[in-house]
Amino acid sequence: MKLRFILLMTILSHSLYALDFDLEMGTGLFYTGAKGKIDYVEESFQGSYANTALQTSGQFYIWGDLDTHIEYWPKMRFEYLHISADGDSTAHLESSIQEIQELIEKLAPLGLNDKTWNSHLQHNIFDFTLYYEYFEKSAWPSLGLGLGYKYFNYIYIMDIDLVPGLQFGDRDDSGAPLLFFTSRYEATSMNMGFQADGKVYVFGDSEMYDWQVKMDLMFPLDEKTTAGLEFGYRDQFFHLQGDDVEKVTGNMRYKGLFVGAVITFK
């Protein structure tokens, strides 16, 4: 999947190079852990995967920002983040079906409930944003406002070692609209840029936000192309609840430093 996104962005950059577009792209690693709680509820079964504390290495991300220079047409930004985490989770299971509940109670002395089990999480997060940016050419920081959509899918698995091959977990996908804001200041004499971005979900019962601050160092390669490095901090939080979800509630948070490479075509 990572290779497909890199190839897509590379092909797009070459096809737009000769046209009147501004295209910025970046890719790198996000150094984060994964902490939170996931609850799974349906008519006959309730599972609480609490106190998850999963560890990650650098997590892959890629983004692209396109300005078409068409009057009244918004800028477009695409972002992708992949989270792969392993660690420990504490399970608490209940069932309204008598036979299943009796089995849970029989296994209780062996430590089925409220015991730490090895767990694994895969989380793919996609963002697509349309926004307008103002004061780009001024001596003050620019200001951008827009609307975005965050789509994500995940797989969560907990290995229960009491029975060989026994696992609890869930897989699902969902999405939500988000309000978006951005602000950027460029110190051209030093080839430096400073930027802050934020996304907030305010339309339903759930709570979600995603914000980051970064600094980049950019150097010209030719008249139309610059390249450099970006460094920053990101905090992304999901709290899914209420009418926004069907069976899975809970929260998960990813926060930490990121570092990547950036290239622009103008």
Q: Could you give phi then psi for residue 95, rounded to 5 degrees?
A: -145, 145
Most confidently predicted of 185-189, 204-208, 260-264: 260-264
- Number of residues written out for the chain: 266
SS (H, E, C) 50-82: EEEEEECCEEEEEEEEEECCCCCCCEEEEEEEE
* Residue of 140 and 149 predicted with greater confidence: 149
79 has a pLDDT exceeding 60: yes
C-alpha 17/C-alpha 106 separation (Å) is 66
- The one-letter code for the residue type at 29 is L
Q: Could you tell me which of 77, 196, 74, 70 has the C-alpha nearest to residue 133?
A: 74
- pLDDT for residue 55: 63
Q: Which tokens in the block code for residue 236? A: 């992304």
Provide the whole-model pTM.
0.81
- pLDDT for residue 39: 67
- pLDDT for residue 118: 78
* 95-124 average pLDDT score: 75
Residue 137, CB-side half-sphere exposure with 13 Å CA sphere: 0
Q: Which tokens in the block code for residue 57? A: 């290495």
Q: Could you tell me which of 173, 170, 206, 205 has the C-alpha nearest to residue 47?
A: 170
198 has a pLDDT exceeding 70: yes
Q: What is the mean pLDDT of the chain?
A: 81
Q: Which tokens in the block code for residue 113? A: 């409930």
Q: Which tokens in the block code for residue 80? A: 């992708």
Q: Could you tell me which of 2, 1, 66, 65 has the C-alpha nearest to residue 29?
A: 2
Q: Could you tell me which of 251, 254, 208, 241 has the C-alpha nearest to residue 37?
A: 251
Q: Which residue's entry shows tokens 């305010």? A: 202
Phi/psi region, residue 45 (left: phi>0; alpha: psi -120 to 50; beta: rest), is beta
